[in-house]
Structure formats: C-alpha cells, structure tokens
A = this chain, B = another copy of it.
Amino acid sequence: MVSTSRRTLADDIVRALKAEIRGGSYAPGSRLPTEAELCRRFGVSRATVRGAVKELDVLGLVRTQHGVGTFVTPRPAVRDGLERMGSITESIRASGKIPGHEYARRTLRPLLPDEAERMGVPPDTEVLELRRRITADGDVVAYSYDLIPRSLLPERFDPEELTGSVFAYFENRLGIHPTLGMAKVHAVESVHIAWGPDAGKHRLFILLDQLHYDRTHRMLAYSRTYFVEGAYEFHLVRTSD
C-alpha cells in the first residue's frame, strides 16, 4: 500500500478487496458488504476495516455513502491508463499480443553534464545506456532510449543478461520496484528516430520523456520512449478532487 512499513492488517484487506473488485466478484455499482460483515469475515475490528475501505474510497474503487453503504464504483471500460505506472511489455500482453524486445545498444559510459542535470545526479555518474525497439506481434510499437545508473546494477553485471523488459529486470533481478514516473509528453515528427528494418517508415511519435523513481524517491532511470503513433493505444484517466 502507500505507507512504507511492512504489511498491516488493513493492507491485507485492501489487497483482498481490490482483487475481488477487479476480478469482478461484485457487479459494478453493487454494494460492498457492510463494515460489520467485513469485520466478521476478516476477523478484525471496525477501525481496521474502516481504514481499508477508506483507502479503496480514495483510490476511487468504491464510494461510501453515510447511512447507506459503500458501493463499487461503476468503472468505465478502460481501467488503467497512461497515468498508471507499468511495464509496456505488460500492457502489450494484456491486449492479447506478444511483446518483443530488440536491443541495439547496451553500453556503460559516464554521464554527460546536461544529462546529469536532467537526472539530478552528480555529473560523473556512470550509466548503462540502452537502445531498443519494443514490438507487439512483431510490429514495432516504440523506440526506447534509457539511461540507468551503474550503481543500481549488480557488482558483476553482464549487459547480455538484459534481454527483455527493463521493468521486469528491475522487479525480478534487482528487487527494485519503480512506483513513480515523472514524464513530459511531446508530439514528435522525425525520420531519424526509427531504425532497423522500419527505418524511415515511422515518422510520427508520442514521446514520453520520463524520470523513474521508487517509493523512496531514489532515481532509477531516465528514459525517452518514442511510441509510434497509431500503434499503441494511449489512454489517460484524469481526476480531480
């Protein structure tokens, strides 16, 4: 959950209810069990249940009504969008296609001064530079350019072992969980971005110029991802108070 510590009882309940809601156990708009019932079911006090429900409320999964009950919010068709941090690979797989990665460059080099400033790290930091293409069912979806601080990588790091999703590598190999991304969005038209067999074929892109952090605000990576216009569905859920 949001807090830093281990796992609290409320967290467990949040996870359980999240899974049920997303899994469709409750029809959209239907009532959640009352707090008293949830107490019995999870064997915790009402204070704990209230904490969990409060979180689901703030997250927008449910809505509470004083004196009535709490209801699962009828979500529009698209659940998560661009505002949700997540692996591109994963979202491709979710759309029923098979993701692929083709690496063109995996080299260690010192950071240039302007890059260091953009990333907010010392100028002499050593980074791993990646260039790759991300594909879905063989079609190029995005051209990506990433810089990852050497200090995050294992002592004995072999660039060859980085073959698939960078996101998955962080999660599974390094035990690092990217949870925050700060991106700038641009429309880009250029024939110099695409390379490989499709060089020059794509020329219109959505650029995500992005800094990645974990929950402690440690800088994890700087990436520029050029999504081929039309090849990737970009959704965005926007909210206000």
Contact = CB atoms under 8 A, between A and B. Distances in A.
Interface of A: 1-6, 8, 47, 50-51, 54-55, 57-60, 63-66, 73-74, 76, 78, 81-86, 177-189, 204-206, 208, 210-211, 213, 217, 229-230, 233-241
A213 B240 CA distance: 11
A2 B241 CA distance: 7
B187 A63 contact: no
Which applies to chain A's interface (DSSP): helix, strand, loop or mixed? mixed
A57 B14 CA distance: 14
B185 A185 contact: yes
Nearest to A205: B187
A26 to B, nearest CB: 16
Contact of A54 (B5, B54, B181): B54
Contacts of A57: 2-3
Nearest to A227: B187
